[in-house]
Amino acid sequence: MSCLHAHRMFFVRRLVPVRCNGNHPLDLDALTGCLASSACLVTQTTSGFIIGMLLFLVAVGLTLIFGVLKVVNFSHGAFYMFGAYFAMTAYQYTGSFALAMLCGAAGTALLGLIFERVFMSRVYGADVLMQLLVCYAFVLIFDDVVRMIWGPEFKSMGMPAAFQVVPLFIAGGVVPPYYLLLIGVALVAAVVLGLGLARTKIGKVIRAAAHNPGMVSALGINTGLIYGGVFALGGMLAGLAGALAAPVRSLTPGMGFSVLIESFIVTVIGGMGSILGALIGAILIGMIRSFGSLGFPLFTEGLMYLFMVIVLVSRPTGLFGKEVA
Amino acid sequence: MTELQAEQAAVVPQIESRSQRSRYVDVLIALAAFAVLAILPMLTGSKALLDFVIRCSAFGLFATSLNLLVGYTGMVSFGHGMFFGLGAYGFGLIMQRTGLPVPVAFVGTLVITTVIAAVIGAICVRLKEIYFAFVTLAFQMLIHSTILSWVSLTGGDQGLRGGIPRPAFFGIDLSNHVHLYIASCALLVIGLLLMRQIAQSPFGYTLRMIRDNANRASFIGIDVWRAKLTIFVLAALFASTGGIIMALFVSGAYPEFAYWTISGEGIFINMLGGVTTFLGPMVGTVLLLILNDTVTRLTDYYGIVLGIVILFFAIGLRKGLMDFVVEWYAQRRGSPGERG
Amino acid sequence: MTRTRKPGVSRRATLAMMGAGAVTFATPWVARAQAKTIKIGMPTILSGRVAQLGTSSRNAVMLEVEKVNAAGGLAGRQIEMVIRDSKGQPQEAARVARELVNTDGCELLIDAEASSGAFAVHEVARDLGVLCIHTNSETSALTADPKQHIPNAFRTARQGVHDSIVGGSYAAAISKGKGLKKWATCAPDYAYGRDTTGEFVTYLKRFAPDVEIISESWPKLFQPDYTEVVTKILQAKPQALYSCLWGGDLTSYIDQANIYALFNQMEVFAVNMADYTALTVVKNLPKGIHSGNRYIKTYPATAENAAWGDAYKAKYNEYPTNWSWENATAIMLLAEASKKANSADGKKIAEAMRGLKIKSPFGADGTVTMRAEDQTLVGYAIGWGTTIPQEPYVPQVQAGDWKTVFELEAEWKKSKGYA
């Protein structure tokens, strides 16, 4: 019986798709099989959601910084990295998860503020090449600084005892409680940012500063403070994401890079400057990863880049992006 | 005729004769440079110096071609490295899989690059500014992903192994170090000369006009899309040649050649050397390679050093070395700035 | 936005400057004269994600070189190591290797690069004819493929195919004993991951033909998020899982699989678990993970091995890694071969190294041999056991049988067209 034939026979008899041995670049049977099974569908959708929400936390900072400051923060991954390392160190010394998260967020907020005021503010208005170079220079510097302080080997924070519990069963799918916390934090951040920018006075000032900084400063508002604040906020969100990810991922200098690339893809697809876009984009990427790893196990990454190209070509400002003035 | 027209009429023949003369001067300089480089192996027994020049040729062609896009046309490409990688893989694959002679493989690689660059360019050059940068980066990562995944063709993450066969042709044997060196120098000089001609030609001035104000250019009837696509493909060809030289140097091709770090290095080089002069990128190449070699000799923390250097140039000098030199020289001469 | 351009500097001045610059910087490239010491060049990775590969290789090499120098050096010449960072890029590895030989006057090379860098340095060794010992590349093709064979290149690293034969037979025994018929695999999507997994599965099925692979996952190397991989595996409901993830990836994977309680649901065979860094870094290490030995000072259970591990730990305040013992072996072999040939000349050492058997704390029977036909190391200790979360981490190790390894390896070579 040929491998493919055996495949089909099994599919008829079982809900869980069976794979043959050997590298199949395309495994649409597994994909369709999963879509047909409710347990699989729920689990894969939840994992897509989980992946997406963490990505959203990182990407929303990036998109915020671009929307208000008109600068692409290529060093965003470094804030994620620092958030994780600060959290891990705080946890090592205090044993408190909450304190670790706080340190991660506060530390990166401070870092973001300093970075913006001292360095980024000098390259506003310069062309994108200069901004890219300044940010990239800092990625190099930060990676080596982390290496010098914490060492080159990978480290682990460990899951706090409070979360070392049995995973929950929700609608037939498996969800670890820690990830529920993660999703919760990300959703709260999304709502606070979205409503905050739309409804509060500060939000209006920020949006005004994004639209017409000259006017805003003519009204007597300190735009420098606004810029610093927004950058600090964006950095803090990335740092918080890093801190939240630290219990489940190994820490290593340079860990920011892969997150940067993915959050980049998310913001491009969702639209630079749009929080809703970052949310939708992140969930989309999460789903592509989750279902893509079933159907296209060897080309999942390529799939994401392909999607990015398609969006850029058909709608360069992204799904929800506004035209940059 | 009006005064303005008379003035313009007087200027035109001057420009023409100046361009004829400058073309001769360019060729003379190219020949002189090649002669100097060619004698070098006789003057010094240092293989390392020859290695250095070979690497300078590869990166110099790459960076100067990037400047054609960035400096002359205002198209900031974050993905130019994909053509460097395509050149290396194309040449490597042709030499490894077919028994074709080196010059045929060389031309074949350029043809393949032209086709791919034309397709990618047609999709990309429509986009403006930062979106052009993003989409070129996306294409580069897509190509890099494909190189990694298509293991049967490219060897995946291990690259093309087993060495690139270098059969002799016209008495030139590229496995001989000195022959490879002379060939690289020749390619560098010819490449730079050709790019110089492109830059100084009317087409080159069209590109500058597009850089300065694309709308105005299209109003006076220039097909902006066509011009951008043409320079995109031309730049890709020279980048590809750089990739071929690198493939010959390491006798292989690796996915790192198509990774965004190569594009990043191209951008650093342009920043180090300056984008306002033609030879800026060449100077930048020499600077970056010297920096790279010296720093890795002395410390493991290359990242910090490179980061500080970039900051120095980006925030401090805010222009490349050649730009600086040119300005300083112009100030000494006291001549007013010229728009060009 | 318009850009102003200043008038160009005369091209003559520009070229003169470049020429002057080139001459000034040419001086470092003059090769230094040879001294009484013998310089050994070592390109490796000292920065980036896999920096630990380079640092642990360097540590081991320096540990051994001190011993050799104290005993008189190589044929009377003191060893001077020149270790340089290639940042993990193959073209840099090639450049560094060439520079070490051409500029720094190194007469021998210890290539401590990872696989793609190793292939690049291999080409340099082919071009320059210098003696080169690959110490970290586990890709079998580097020495097994006759197209790669050059008389001056050797390998002291373990080989993927050896590990898979031993691992496959160990796993098959357990599978038969516990009835583990349904297996899943999870390996990083690059050459090491693909080849090792493929070979393991081949040998697993050879010894336990009932086994069926029902799910394969191929995350990208250094991928931070394994959520989709973990859930995919959980849904396939295998009885056993094989993974050759290593280092930080393995740690991330364990952390993420832990919160899904994956380890309660299947037997896990993780080749690269029994490595001190992974064992000591993972905070919530589950019990009972089957692992091959990377470097464990309790296997081989000899005094020599324990002493070596302790000496390394005492000097560097960290445990040795797999890379450490492989590099140490290279220096040990060099020293022995040089003694045998009574020379520090690369060619003569190469001659003496072929077929050389030396006493080694890492040998399965106390010795390791540099096999002559394909110039790669054999006879090193390979074994599998289950992990516990505290010292000695792998209390019982089942040794692999080299006779079986040789037989099956020969078959494998024939099947690949290498023999």
Encode chain B (340 residues) as per-residue pLDDT tens digits: 677 766 666 666 655 566 778 888 888 989 999 998 998 888 887 888 899 999 999 999 999 999 999 999 989 999 999 999 999 999 999 999 998 999 999 999 999 999 999 999 999 988 887 889 989 999 999 999 999 988 889 988 888 988 888 888 888 888 888 999 999 999 999 999 999 999 999 999 999 999 998 889 889 988 999 999 999 999 999 999 999 999 999 999 999 999 988 998 999 999 888 888 899 999 999 999 999 999 988 888 888 999 999 888 888 777 778 887 888 888 888 755 444 4
Say what the pTM is: 0.86
pLDDT mean over C234-255: 92
What is the domain partition of chain C in residue ranges? Answer: 36-159+302-378, 161-298+383-416
Q: How far is CA B283 from CA A257, B57, B274, C382, in A?
A: 30, 11, 8, 53
CA C216, CA C198: separation in Å to the nearest integer? Answer: 11
Residue-level pLDDT at C38 = 94
Q: Do B277 and C8 touch (CB under 8 A)?
A: yes
**Tokens 């460990």 sit at which residue?**
A158
DSSP C308-368: HHHHHHHHHSS---HHHHHHHHHHHHHHHHHHHHTS--HHHHHHHHTT-EEE-TTBTTSEE
Residue C199 tokens read as 């070979």
State pLDDT tens for residues A92-139. 999 889 999 999 999 999 999 999 998 888 877 777 778 888 898 999
pLDDT over 50 at C32, yes or no: no
User: Cβ distance C68 to C74 under 8 Å?
Assistant: yes
- Cα distance between residue B224 and residue C172, in whole Å: 66
| Partner-chain contact C215 A19, CB within 8 Å | yes
Model pLDDT, residue A130: 81
Q: Extract the tokens encoding C182.
A: 């349904």
pLDDT for position A162: 82
CA-wise closest residue to A78 among A49, A120, A129: A120
Q: Quick one: pLDDT at residue A187?
A: 92
Beta strand pairing call for C182-186 and C240-243: parallel
Interface check for A222 against chain C (CB to CB < 8 A): the answer is: no
pLDDT at B45: 79
The Cα C14–Cα B322 span in angstroms is 9
A137 → closest Cβ in B123, B301, B311: B311
pLDDT tens string for chain A (325 positions)?
333 333 343 333 333 333 333 445 667 777 777 777 777 788 888 888 889 999 999 999 999 998 888 888 989 999 999 999 999 999 999 988 999 999 999 999 999 999 999 888 887 777 777 888 889 899 999 999 999 999 888 899 988 888 888 888 877 777 888 998 999 999 999 999 988 888 888 888 888 888 888 888 888 888 888 889 999 999 999 999 999 999 999 999 888 888 898 898 999 899 888 889 999 999 999 998 888 888 877 788 888 888 888 988 888 888 887 654 3
pLDDT at C413 over 70: yes
Chains interfacing with A (3 or more CB pairs < 8 Å): B, C
Q: How far apart are CA C187 and CA C194, in angstroms?
A: 7
Whether residue B141 and residue A305 make contact (CB cut-off 8 A), yes or no, is yes
Helix, strand, or coil (residue C133): strand
Contact A313 B133 (CB under 8 A): no
- A140 closest CB neighbour out of B76, B307, B318: B307
Digit-coded pLDDT (tens) for C275-294:
898 888 888 888 889 999 89
The strand pair at C79-85 and C38-44 is best described as parallel
Contact C107/C39 with Cβ under 8 angstroms?
A: yes
pLDDT tens-place string over residues C39-75 = 999 999 998 888 899 999 999 999 999 999 999 999 9
Does residue A18 lie within any of the structural domains? no
Within-domain flag for A128 = yes
pLDDT for the residue B116:
97
How many angstroms separate the CA atoms of A262 and A285, rounded? 8
Q: What SS3 state is found at B75?
A: coil
DSSP-derived secondary structure for A18-69: ---SS--S--HHHHHHHHH-HHHHHHHHHHHHHHHHHHHHHHHHHHHHHHHH
What is the distance between the alpha carbons of residues C383 and C399, in angstroms, rounded to a whole number? 4
Q: What is the DSSP string of C151-218?
A: TTEEE-S--HHHHHHHHHHHHHHHHHHHT--EEEEE--SSHHHHHHHHHHHHHHHHH-TT-EEEEEE-
Q: Judge whether residue C260 has pLDDT over 50.
A: yes
Q: Topology of domain C161-298+383-416, per CATH?
A: Rossmann fold (3.40.50)
Q: Min CA distance, B311 vs chain A (Å)? A: 6
Structural domain includes residue A325: no
> What is the pLDDT confidence band of residue C27, given thresholds at 50, 70 and 90?
very low
Neighbours of chain B (3+ CB pairs under 8 A): A, C
Measured between CA atoms, the residue of chain A closest to residue B308 is A137
Rounded to the nearest 10 degrees, how much is the dihedral formed by the CA atoms of C299, C304, C307, C308? -80
Asked if the C-beta of A53 comes within 8 angstroms of chain C's C-beta atoms, the answer is no
- Residues C354-403 pLDDT 10s: 999 999 999 999 999 999 999 999 999 999 999 988 888 888 899 999 99
Same fold, C36-159+302-378 and C161-298+383-416: yes
Residue A186 distance to chain C (closest CA, Å):
16
Tokens standing for residue B251: 């006798």
Chain A residues in contact with C251 (beta carbon < 8 A) = 154, 156, 250
* pLDDT, tens digit (0-9, with 9 covering 90-100), for A259-271: 898 898 999 899 8
Inform me whether the C-beta atom of residue A51 falls under 8 Å from chain C C-beta atoms. yes
Cβ-Cβ contacts under 8 Å, C119 against chain B: 158-159, 161, 252
Instruction: State the pLDDT at residue B340.
Output: 40
Distance to chain B for A308, nearest Cα, Å: 7
Domain membership of residue A13 (yes or no) is: no
pLDDT at C42: 97
Amino acid (1-letter code) at residue C237: K
We report the CATH number of the domain holding residue A290 as 1.10.3470
Question: Residue C8 — pLDDT band, cuts 50, 70, 90?
Answer: very low
At B234 the pLDDT is 96
Cα dihedral sign, B266-B272-B278-B283: negative
Residues in C closer than 8 angstroms to B254, CB to CB, are 89-91, 116, 120
For chain C, what is the mean pLDDT?
A: 88
Contact A302 B149 (CB under 8 A): yes
Structural domain range at position A213: 24-152+166-314
Q: Is the Cβ pair A127, B149 closer than 8 Å? A: no
Q: How many domains does chain A have?
A: 1
Output the pLDDT for position C31.
38
- The minimum CA-CA distance between B146 and chain A, rounded to whole Å, is 7
| Pair B162, C148: CB distance under 8 Å | yes
- A137's tokens: 């220079």
Distance CA B306, CA B271 (A): 13
Please give the Cα distance from A114 to A320 (Å, whole number): 31
pLDDT of residue C160: 87
Q: How far apart are alpha carbons C18 and B56 in whole angstroms? A: 13
Is residue C241 predicted with pLDDT exceeding 90? yes
- Tell me if the domain spanning C36-159+302-378 has CATH number 1.10.3720.10: no
**Residue C45 near residue C86 (C-beta atoms within 8 A):** yes
